[in-house]
Amino acid sequence: MRSVSESLAGRAVYYTLLPMMLGEIEMRPPSGLIRNLFKGELPEEGKISVSHRSPFPWMLRGCMPTLMEMKSWSAVLKWWEGYVMTYLERDLRQLSQIESLPDFRRVMRALALRSGQLLNQTGISREIGVSQPTIHRY
């Protein structure tokens, strides 16, 4: 946004879109379970609808609506590569102090493999050969 001369103040609306839920993906109507729990109503035993399908195909698509409709994995992988190229490489590179794109990609991969874990920048630095200050900056 630094290079954008127009702020679009008053003419833009920003929405935070959360990933799709499994019920949305399967096009099931909302269950009302949470609403009923807040009312103090417990569900009857055996009345909760649970999907028996594996969530992993959806997880690999990031629960993103565009990817949910794609049938082939090659199309999904191509979309993710485009995402990395446009958002992470182009946009973040303009906003951050990214000196080496190959190093940045190695850091991204190392961090993605450690999602949900404590961040040990020194350990990642030793493993992938990028300095700890660079990992911290990225």
**Residue 21: inside a domain, yes or no?**
no
Domain count, the chain: 1
Comparison of pLDDT for 91 and 39, the residue scoring more: 39
Record the tokens describing residue 58, joined without a space.
């959806």
**Is 49 domain-assigned?**
no
pLDDT the model gives residue 132:
95
- The one-letter code for the residue type at 116 is G
Q: Model pTM?
A: 0.50
- 41 assigned to some structural domain: no
* 127 CB-near residues (< 8 Å, 6+ apart): 110
127, part of any domain: yes
Does residue 29 fall inside a structural domain? no
Residue 48 has what pLDDT? 65
pLDDT tens-digit readout, 34-54: 888 899 888 777 666 666 778
In a domain, 20, yes or no: no
User: Considering the domain boundaries, does residue 109 fall inside one?
Assistant: yes
Are 48 and 33 spatial neighbours (Cβ–Cβ below 8 Å)?
Answer: yes
Query: The domain containing residue 99 runs over which residues?
Result: 54-137
